[in-house]
Amino acid sequence: MNKIIVGLKRVVDYNVRVRVKPDGSGVITDGVKMSINPFDEIALEEALRIKERGEVEEVIVVSIGPADAQQQLRTGLAMGADRALLVQTDSAVEPLDAARIFLKLIERESPELVIVGKQAIDDDNAQTGPMLAALWDRPQATFVSEVSFADGKASITREVDTGLETMEVDLPAVLTADLRLNEPRYVKLPDIMKAKRKPLDTLSLEDLGVTLKPQLKIVKTDPPAQRQKGVMVEDVDGLISALKDKGLL
């Protein structure tokens, strides 16, 4: 393979307790630690392992978002990616628009493989990968937990509700990474320093000829309901009675 494109989304770090804005217009991000979406980090780790096995020549990381997303791209470069592309926009980008942007980048770069996380931990849509495959008119494999390559094909193990499913797809293709695909590496200080010298190019939506077309409008954001206090029961009969009182039986 010549190139792999990996999508990296900038999200609130998974260790941060998310707080809703007082007016309910969204979540507070000012002063909050931001990181690479964990599933995207797994996607990048897999691309780097493929490169280390000598099966691809170049790994390109891509992010769509504000200028601050350069921080996550630099982290991707420090992990081992060869170069980075930032499609800069301060507007919210929905999955279909993200897929359209990725398609334009594919037309510019001609990769044999695109790997993204199965979903982002901020919106949990799990739609960008499948939408991209549909627009690109190429095979897809979602929720991938194992992958290998031979004879221009990818052999996939993917996680489904009933267990594991094995399949084979022709390349080029789109893969979405699941949690058990791998464990991402730690970034070392020398790699961070080297990443500063790697190319990071910024593109605008106008450069790609893409106009965002929002399909959704967030009306209000509410925090989860507070967890109710537990009830102590003395025996099974008491448990059954308590469940009936709550309408669960």
pLDDT class of 245 with cuts at 50, 70, 90: confident
pLDDT class of 201 with cuts at 50, 70, 90: very high
- Chain mean pLDDT for the chain: 93
* Cα angle 200, 209, 72; round to 5: 25
One of 3.30.2310.20, 3.40.50.620, 3.40.50.300, 3.30.565.10 is the CATH number of 3-245, namely 3.40.50.620
Sign of CA dihedral 149, 154, 157, 159: positive
Question: pTM above 0.75?
Answer: yes
* Cα angle 14, 63, 18; round to 5: 25
* Mean per-residue pLDDT, 196-204: 95
pLDDT in tens, 120-174: 998 899 999 999 999 999 999 999 999 999 999 999 999 988 899 999 999 999 9
* Mean per-residue pLDDT, 54-69: 96
pLDDT class of 31 with cuts at 50, 70, 90: confident
pLDDT class of 229 with cuts at 50, 70, 90: confident
* Mean per-residue pLDDT, 239-243: 89
Strand 113-117 relative to strand 3-7, pairing: parallel
